[in-house]
Amino acid sequence: MNATPRLFSPLALRGRLLRNRIASTGHQTYLAQGHRPGADMIAYHQARARGGAGLIIVESARFHETSFADAPDLHIDTDDAIPAFARLADAVHREGASIFGQLSHSGRVSRRMRNGLRDVAYAPSAVADNRFHTMPRAMPEDMVLELVEAAGEAARRYAQAGFDGVELLASHGLLFAQFLNPRVNLRTDAWGGDHDGRLRFLLDSLRRARAAAGDEIVIGVRISIDEVEADGLQPAEMTRICSDLVRLGAIDYVNVTMGSMAGLGGSIHVVPPMQVATGYIAPQAGTLRAAIGAPVLVAGRINQPQIAERLLADGLADLCGMTRAMISDPEMPNKAREGRLDDIRACIGCNQACIGHFHAGNPISCIQTPQTGRERRFEAPSPAPRGGHVVVVGGGPAGMKAAVTAAGRGYRVTLCEAAARLGGQALAAQALPGRAEFGGLITNLEHELDRPGIEIRRNSPMTREDVAALAPDAIVLATGARPGPPALEMSEGGHVVHAVDILSGSANPGNDALVADWRCDWVGMGMAEHLVRNGHRVRLAVNGTHAGQNLQMYLRDHWAGILHGLGVEVIPYARLFGVDGGTAYLSHVVTGAPILCEGVDTVVLAGVPVPETGLEAALAGIGVPVHLAGDCLSPRTAEEAVYEGFLAGREV
């Protein structure tokens, strides 16, 4: 029996039939070429359409020059864009999925750069945002009229390119939302004032879109049901707005999300990290759906088909956005339809390679799926030579991925892990507060390892002789890294332990703990939370500008809020250089000025890792190719480990 019947029932929207209820909601990929969909973007979306998605909503496209920036995003502002968008639509349609486009204008929520200079941002009123620290200029009325016209023309282009629908972004505190918001739109002309005045920009743009794009195309809006900002739109306001749009016949559906890019708190909900509950926006979407009586799409941490099925069954939505679920596993819909739920490589909400790449200015990918965003680069690898045998040493993410990839090519693989369990440092990472889902990386890889041709040897530390005795044709070394010795210039006693020792239970911290965080990542913040939740007084001294400096910002900011709420004292710009009994000596990393922390019972190190290279040295001259992957090459993150394991498995 199919466990997800509702998810695979078709949905009619304005006479167009979506083959199922799974949508990839708009997400910027950084794959545009010359601001148009090119071969890479087509391959990316085609993979998800082929994987069984019902609806692909393509990333936000700019429709007016007042929203352009130095970024490889989509522009749909002139007719010469139509052929490229048409090629994308054709490719998605050929795979049986429907395709919608988005229209976006950032207004005040932008730090737009053009040719190295900050550009003027235009918004309904001169009201600053709190994320980009932009003070916009109030739009003159003729610009508002020009934008309404431009939105209509862009919708026409989508229709001419063969798109099934178009969605105006009134979500995330973007321009359409700014006009709707009485605390951001302070205009006294026809585009502000009362509710109807503030609605006018969106309503006129929707009407212009309908007039220009014709009757057949689906037109919807994306909204944030709650912007979660001090000056943000509230659920009651959004409900009234959506009710009016439905009543006036301006939209065919509402796409519900949460949050706003106008502040750090609201931004967390744009791509919510793993600490946020799965499907958490669905109850509010359900309330809206009941109030407006129009089809509703909801997104936000719906990472498994079972969750989507449940919220459809509960009547909370008509369509489920499962965006990172398909960034992580493009084949997720097909696997669900075929009942292969255990085979799904579920998104773990780490935000590292999807939105993390995007914010770093790189094409998006997935920590678990190196092919994502690189569809054209990683076509099928060559098959293994007959009877080929690969020995992989190290059963962390790099070794596991190498083993799975090599076995997928037909190699016989022996995977040797020194510890009793596979997972390497990911085992410790999942033990940090709010990080249990990170263990999904191990669970997913373990499931993929469960196939013929792979022998797993646990409790098997390897020597050169052990490896040679297995007579491999190639060796992959993925021996990882270990915490390095504390780099203390003076140590006159005092309790100094590694974070991993606390997580494993082999070290017992005292009441007053100082976390000395060189890494500025998950370990320091996680350890601080772990300790404070266990009743310790905690100071977190970071060797950087702020806690979590090296983390994706939505994850970091969410965590910063938690630590603040728990009373953790954060000391930025602080390098530990000595411990003397109950005193920890730190120095300001810029000036070298001393920072003394007294009354410290335990110093917990989130310190410098060192690669495990012993076996690499021992294998010198062994006579078969040796490939290195992950932290034994250089300690970095699980993303590089999986990626390099994948490469090693392809290259052996």
Ligand X SMILES: Cc1cc2nc3c(=O)[nH]c(=O)nc-3n(C[C@H](O)[C@H](O)[C@H](O)COP(=O)(O)O)c2cc1C
Residues that bind ligand X (CB under 6 A): 25-28, 59-60, 102, 169, 171, 222, 257, 270-271, 299-302, 321-325, 354-355, 358, 364
Report CA torsion sign: 147, 149, 150, 154: positive
Partner whose footprint covers residue 312, from ligand X, ligand SF4, none (CB < 5 to 8 Å by kind): none
Smallest gap from residue 405 Cβ to ligand X (A): 25
- What is the number of residues in the chain? 652
Contact 185, 191 (CB under 8 A): yes
Choice between 220 and 272, CB closer to ligand SF4:
272
Contact 603, 496 (CB under 8 A): yes
642 φ/ψ angles, rounded to the nearest 5 degrees? -65, -45
Binding mask 298-327 for ligand SF4 (x = CB under 6 A): --------------------------x--x
Choice between 300 and 611, CB closer to ligand X:
300
Under the binding rule (CB under 6 A), the answer on residue 352 touching ligand SF4 is yes
Instruction: Find the binding residues for ligand SF4 in span 526-585 (CB under 6 A).
Output: none
Close Cβ partners of 252 (under 8 Å, ≥ 6 residues apart): 13, 14, 165, 218, 219, 220, 294, 295
Q: Which of 187, 652, 88 is nearest to 410 (CA)?
A: 652
Contact with ligand SF4 (CB under 6 A): which of 22, 109, 336, 366?
366
Contact with ligand SF4 (CB under 6 A): which of 349, 397, 524, 635?
349
Residue found under tokens 């053009």: 114
Under the binding rule (CB under 6 A), the answer on residue 350 touching ligand SF4 is yes
Under the binding rule (CB under 6 A), the answer on residue 367 touching ligand SF4 is yes
Under the binding rule (CB under 6 A), the answer on residue 368 touching ligand SF4 is yes
Choice between 300 and 544, CB closer to ligand X:
300
Partner whose footprint covers residue 328, from ligand SF4, ligand X, none (CB < 5 to 8 Å by kind): ligand SF4
Smallest gap from residue 515 Cβ to ligand SF4 (A): 25
Instruction: Find the binding residues for ligand SF4 in span 323-342 (CB under 6 A).
Output: 324, 327-328
Partner whose footprint covers residue 353, from ligand X, ligand SF4, none (CB < 5 to 8 Å by kind): ligand SF4
Smallest gap from residue 57 Cβ to ligand X (A): 7
| Number of neighbours of residue 359 by Cβ within 10 angstroms | 13
In 63-196 the beta strands, taken as DSSP E runs, fall at 74-75, 98-104, 113-114, 117-118, 122-123, 137-138, 165-170
- Strand 490-491: give its sheet, edge to edge: 490-491, 574-580, 583-588, 594-597
Choice between 202 and 346, CB closer to ligand SF4:
346
Q: Which of 221, 137, 124, 139 is nearest to 180 (CA)?
A: 124
Choice between 358 and 411, CB closer to ligand X:
358
Partner whose footprint covers residue 300, from ligand SF4, ligand X, none (CB < 5 to 8 Å by kind): ligand X
Choice between 308 and 542, CB closer to ligand X:
308
Partner whose footprint covers residue 323, from ligand X, ligand SF4, none (CB < 5 to 8 Å by kind): ligand X
Smallest gap from residue 152 Cβ to ligand SF4 (A): 34
Smallest gap from residue 340 Cβ to ligand X (A): 20
Smallest gap from residue 647 Cβ to ligand SF4 (A): 17
Distance CA 544, CA 525 (A): 13
Choice between 326 and 531, CB closer to ligand SF4:
326
Smallest gap from residue 25 Cβ to ligand X (A): 3
Contact with ligand SF4 (CB under 6 A): which of 354, 481, 540, 542?
354
Which 8-state DSSP code applies to residue 93? Answer: H
Choice between 59 and 231, CB closer to ligand X:
59
Contact 156, 212 (CB under 8 A): yes
Size of the site for ligand SF4 (CB under 6 A): 14
Choice between 541 and 553, CB closer to ligand SF4:
553
Under the binding rule (CB under 6 A), the answer on residue 351 touching ligand SF4 is yes
Phi-psi category of 388—alpha, beta or left, where left has phi over 0 and alpha has psi -120 to 50? beta
What does the DSSP assignment read for 45-88?
A: HHHHHHTT-SEEEEEEEE-SGGG--SS--EE--SGGGHHHHHHH
Choice between 53 and 597, CB closer to ligand X:
53
What does the DSSP assignment read for 357-418?
A: HHHTTS----SS-TTTT-TTT--PPPPPPTT-EEEEE--SHHHHHHHHHHHHTT-EEEEE-S
Q: Enter the tokens of residue 597.
A: 């922390």
Distance CA 117, CA 38 (A): 27
Partner whose footprint covers residue 445, from ligand SF4, ligand X, none (CB < 5 to 8 Å by kind): none
Smallest gap from residue 37 Cβ to ligand X (A): 13
- Strand 474-477: give its sheet, edge to edge: 454-457, 412-416, 389-393, 474-477, 626-628
Choice between 147 and 353, CB closer to ligand SF4:
353
Contact 349, 558 (CB under 8 A): no
| Number of neighbours of residue 103 by Cβ within 10 angstroms | 28
Under the binding rule (CB under 6 A), the answer on residue 151 touching ligand SF4 is no
Choice between 125 and 303, CB closer to ligand SF4:
303
In 386-518 the beta strands, taken as DSSP E runs, fall at 389-393, 412-416, 454-457, 474-477, 481-483, 490-491, 495-498, 512-517
Partner whose footprint covers residue 366, from ligand X, ligand SF4, none (CB < 5 to 8 Å by kind): ligand SF4
Distance CA 553, CA 556 (A): 5
Partner whose footprint covers residue 59, from ligand SF4, ligand X, none (CB < 5 to 8 Å by kind): ligand X
Q: Which of 597, 604, 611, 310 is nearest to 484 (CA)?
A: 611
Smallest gap from residue 554 Cβ to ligand X (A): 10
Calculate the alpha carbon distances from 125 to 140, 166, 178, 515 in Å.
Answer: 10, 27, 9, 45
Report CA torsion sign: 260, 261, 262, 263: positive
Smallest gap from residue 324 Cβ to ligand SF4 (A): 4
Under the binding rule (CB under 6 A), the answer on residue 353 touching ligand SF4 is yes
Smallest gap from residue 320 Cβ to ligand SF4 (A): 16
Residues that bind ligand SF4 (CB under 6 A): 324, 327-328, 347-354, 366-368
